[in-house]
Chain A
Amino acid sequence: MADEVEDLSCRKASSLLSLACERPLDATELRALKMHLDECLMCTNFEQQLKFLHRCSEAFREG
């Protein structure tokens, strides 16, 4: 199983994280992303920052 999963770069992982804000990821994408995030603190930080940008934008609307 595991060897079928594409080994993601941060470039690809960050792009999937952003894409996940627009549409649900499929099983392959999710598996590859999870494997990457388990080992990559930088992309985990990026994931948190995307969530924050979302909350922050909502708060911006409320004023």
Chain B
Amino acid sequence: MLSFRAMPRAPTADSRFTEIEGHRPYLVRYALSQLRDPVLAEEAVQEALLAALEGIGKFDGRSTLRTWLTSILRFKVIDIQRRQVADRARVDIDEERLADEHEAWLDEMFDETGHWKSPPQAWNDPEAALEQRRFWMVFEMCLEGLPAAASRVFFKREVLGEDTPVICSEEKITSSNCWVILHRARIALRMCLERNWFGHEASHGR
């Protein structure tokens, strides 16, 4: 992480910088959901963060800092999308393989009688987790652990709240494949959160 040792500094500028930097993982995820390409996503975030640092005086606190940063990033993303219009025809979700893989993946989650192999537990006071910084690190890690397409589709659907038909057409996939991707993402995320945060083992380790 960042080190400020022995560096003379203006505390307000530094704390602003640290605060803005703290939103980077979210912003990268946002950019990835829109751009797919990690290099371009990184470029967009970098440009947005620089613009944010320069324009921090314009942040009036009427929205959250994250919302403000996202609105700057959105413009950077649109710029890059314009540059890569030709490239967007590329399809990177193989629809036929997806359907086969989905059944095979579910075979791993459920036994032959259709019961959960790793049964969902009751989570103790999940709302309280939302207030904890470490929970968000776990959440980001779990999102990061999803396959790229699943992570992108889940982010658009649940985080950005886009409608499924919009997502399907952006991703150029059928709605049933969109549902398949979302279903798998949800099961994978719930397992990851249970293993690393809500589960009995995870809470004893805290």
Which residues of chain A have a CB within 8 Å of any CB of chain B?
9-12, 14-15, 18-19, 21-23, 41-43, 45-46, 48-50, 52-63
Contact = CB atoms under 8 A, between A and B. Distances in A.
B64 A63 contact: yes
A60 B123 contact: no
Question: Which residue, A19, A43, A46, has most C-beta atoms of chain B within 10 A?
Answer: A46
Contacts of A58: 158-159, 161
A53 B186 contact: yes
A21 B59 CA distance: 35
Given A18-B182, A45-B120, A53-B186, A62 B114 contact: no
A31 to B, nearest CB: 18
Contacts of B160: 61
B66 A63 contact: yes
At the interface, is chain A mostly helix, strand, loop or mixed?
A: helix
Interface of B: 23, 26, 64-67, 69-70, 106, 109-110, 113-116, 119-123, 126-127, 129-130, 136, 139, 154, 158-161, 164, 175, 178-179, 182-183, 186-187, 189-190, 193-194
Given A56-B139, A63-B65, A18 B179 contact: yes
Given A60-B26, A62-B64, A63-B66, A53 B113 contact: no
Contacts, number: 96
A10 B123 contact: no
A63 B71 CA distance: 13
B115 A10 contact: yes
Contact of A15 (B26, B64, B183): B183
A46 B120 contact: yes
Given A15-B183, A46-B120, A9 B189 contact: no
B119 A42 contact: yes
Contacts of A46: 120, 190
Nearest to B114: A9
A53 to B, nearest CB: 6
A28 B196 CA distance: 36
A62 B66 contact: yes
7 contacts: A12-B114, A23-B164, A41-B122, A48-B123, A56-B130, A58-B158, A63-B67
